[in-house]
Amino acid sequence: MEVEKKWWKEQVIYQIYPRSFNDSNGDGIGDIPGIISQLDYLKYLGVDIIWLSPIYDSPNDDNGYDISDYYNIHPEFGTMEDFDALLSGLHIRGMKLIMDVVVNHSSDEHEWFKKSIASKDSDHRNYYYWKPGKNGGPPNNWQSFFGGSAWELDPKSGEYYLHIFSKKQPDLNWENEKVRNEIYKILAFWLDKGVNGFRMDVIPLISKRLEFADATQPTFGKVVEEVYSNGPRVHEFIKEINERVLSKYDVMTVGEGPGISKDVGLNYVGHDRGELNMIFHLDHMFLGFGPRGRFDQLPYNWNDIKRIFKDWYVSMGTSGWVSIFLDNHDFARLVSRFGNDKEFRNESSKMLAMLILTMRGTPCIYQGTEIGMTNVTFNKIEDFKDLETLNFYKEFTNEGMAPDEFIGIANENGRDNVRTPIQWSGADNGGFTDGKPWIAMNPNYNEINVEAALSDKQSIFYFYKELLHLRKNAPALIYGEWDVIDQESENVYVYTRKFDKNAYLIVLNHSDEHSAVDLNAFSAKLLVMSNYNNRMKDVLIPWECRLYKLMIN
């Protein structure tokens, strides 16, 4: 069987985290008019689909992933008119927009929750999960993703409500048909406006295991699979979303999901399942997460990453589809984590660009990565804004970890690394705002910024631009079979993509070392792109990448 052709396989996604993209009115917060003024920039780069992180009304406990009104734009981002202008601005340019839907939970400030918490007899009580405590404590031992119990006591009723994320993100009760109907109405509202699809936040978590048994697994990652993810009705619910809403439109969906392993991936995206179009699986992103998550790091290496890519490729076969990405708003900057953001920032950014744009899957580029933005170093806890970092800071330092040690770990792995604003120029605050940015700028904006990137033909930006153009016109890079040449090689990643009579050879050095490579098996080849002007024979320079066209007959 051949891979089915679909527009969302051929296009490339670019994620905008609106708070940090571009501020138009000097309040220090990126906004929709700010995005609109940069649409030509995005078009010039050559991306197709904009994934907009949440822009709905929200008390911002988790920067918009806690929604208090699904039908309104947060005033700090603008108005519905601004949104409509953004959507048409994209469509006029031949681009698309996908919304971030966060429907595993709402904000505790959503009117449903206000009614739900008002009384035990409220007709909205069962919009959420309420349980009596056990032995003077919460109903079970479930832990929240952001630390502490996943249950919060409401002193008035004496019952606890479930919140897998922060206590300001109560989990919606999908068992309740009224909740589902409300959600379908919301999705239809945005589709009727003309949006082109959805990124579905933590979608494998929407069906709960109603026995609410204690978690028994030793690591948080395993607990997620044991108790949170892939619940008994998850596929029934996703199919219903399709039948009731999505199937009536030509749109795409990408499900985000902790707990979707390669073994269950096809259940979500198999081409005959009627569920999602593709997934952001997180296996490679969770590498190095210890028993207690990202602030509890374990060593890992490139062979672990390569194994995960391989496993997913095999398990998807020609039936399922994934998105390929190495960063987003929840993880460290790609070049700081997987490349070398010091002496090889330029080279390793380009090598990683080549990786994500030549694998099988829809590439997703996070804002700022196209100019090689890096992690930031904060020196005091007050500089951090992310609730996850702040919660775990308390937890870990209460247990005796030195504050500086925690801050060091947060500077490597925390989510604020990717949330510092886009550096548009070398002007004050990197040209992001005329006011005071909501989170400190990365001070390296003098050197790393869009203006500098656009004026240098050798920049990371132009490398992305060229690759994006190349991929668009190379079915082999989109649909082609993927064959890894030497999976276990220590520093080098070599693979081919083949489709009909078209084939490419991709050669990547993912290390700071000069590394031997043997390409003699590929005699007839033409170099199309590389991140160095000079090459050595049988040796790759640190972070070198090459893309060849293979001559086959």
Task: Report how far apart, in Å, the C-alpha atoms of 150 and of each of 71, 277, 449, 462 are.
Answer: 27, 30, 41, 45
Which of 23, 82, 108, 347 touches Ca ion by CB under 5 A?
Answer: 23
201 catalytic? Reply is yes
Which of 51, 65, 321, 344 touches ligand ISL by CB under 6 A?
Answer: 65
Strand partners, 364: 13
Nearer to ligand ISL by C-beta: 294 or 385?
A: 294
Which is the catalytic residue, given 61, 201, 341, 347?
201
Radius of gyration of the chain (CA): 23
Which is the catalytic residue, given 62, 100, 256, 327?
256
Closest distance of CB 550 from ligand ISL, Å: 37
Encoded one letter per residue, x for contact with ligand ISL by CB under 6 A and - for no contact, window 95-134 reads: -------x--------------------------------
Residue 544 as a binder of ligand ISL (CB under 6 A): the answer is no
Contact in structure between 375 and 444 (CB atoms under 8 Å):
no
Per CB under 5 A, which region of 17-25, 194-202, 227-235, 256-264 contacts Ca ion?
17-25
Residue 416 as a binder of ligand ISL (CB under 6 A): the answer is no
Contact in structure between 330 and 257 (CB atoms under 8 Å):
no
Residue 31 as a binder of Ca ion (CB under 5 A): the answer is yes
Instruction: Please enumerate in sequence order all residues whose Cβ is within 8 A of that of 62, keeping only pairs 6 or more positions apart, or say none.
Output: 165, 166, 168, 169, 387
Residue 393 as a binder of ligand ISL (CB under 6 A): the answer is no
Nearer to Ca ion by C-beta: 197 or 437?
A: 437
Residue 467 interacting entry, from ligand ISL, Ca ion, none, C-beta within 5 to 8 Å by type: none
For residue 469, with 0-12 CB atoms within 10 Å meaning exposed, 13-18 middle and 19 or more buried, which class applies?
exposed
| CA pair distance 306, 291, nearest whole angstrom | 22
Instruction: Please enumerate in sequence order all residues whose Cβ is within 8 A of that of 368, keeping only pairs 6 or more positions apart, or say none.
Output: 333, 418, 422, 423
Contact in structure between 181 and 190 (CB atoms under 8 Å):
no
The residues in 196-225 that bind ligand ISL, with binding defined as CB under 6 A, are: 201-202
Contact in structure between 52 and 197 (CB atoms under 8 Å):
no
Runs of H (alpha helix) within 359-459 = 387-398, 403-413, 450-454
Per CB under 5 A, which region of 26-34, 152-160, 232-240, 486-494 contacts Ca ion?
26-34
3-state secondary structure at position 283? coil
Residue 165 interacting entry, from ligand ISL, Ca ion, none, C-beta within 5 to 8 Å by type: ligand ISL
Which of 197, 293, 372, 542 touches ligand ISL by CB under 6 A?
Answer: 293
Q: Amino acid identity of 491?
A: N
Nearer to ligand ISL by C-beta: 284 or 497?
A: 284
Residue 62 as a binder of ligand ISL (CB under 6 A): the answer is yes
Closest distance of CB 33 from ligand ISL, Å: 24
Q: Amino acid identity of 366?
A: Y
Residue 27 interacting entry, from Ca ion, ligand ISL, none, C-beta within 5 to 8 Å by type: Ca ion
The length of the chain in residues reads 553
| CA pair distance 162, 154, nearest whole angstrom | 11
Closest distance of CB 102 from ligand ISL, Å: 5
Question: If you ran DSSP here, which 8-state letter would residue 137 be given?
Answer: B
Q: Count of CB atoms within 10 A of residue 428's CB? A: 11
Residue 62 interacting entry, from Ca ion, ligand ISL, none, C-beta within 5 to 8 Å by type: ligand ISL
Closest distance of CB 409 from ligand ISL, Å: 13
Residue 228 as a binder of ligand ISL (CB under 6 A): the answer is no
3-state secondary structure at position 103? coil
For residue 127, with 0-12 CB atoms within 10 Å meaning exposed, 13-18 middle and 19 or more buried, which class applies?
buried
Nearer to Ca ion by C-beta: 15 or 24?
A: 24
Report the residue number whose CB is nearest to Ca ion. Answer: 31
Residue 377 as a binder of Ca ion (CB under 5 A): the answer is no
Residue 82 as a binder of Ca ion (CB under 5 A): the answer is no
| CA pair distance 232, 207, nearest whole angstrom | 6
Residues that bind Ca ion (CB under 5 A): 23, 25, 27, 29, 31
Catalytic residue numbers, as ranges: 201, 256
Residues that bind ligand ISL (CB under 6 A): 62, 65, 102, 145, 165, 201-202, 256, 258, 282, 293-294, 329-330, 388, 415
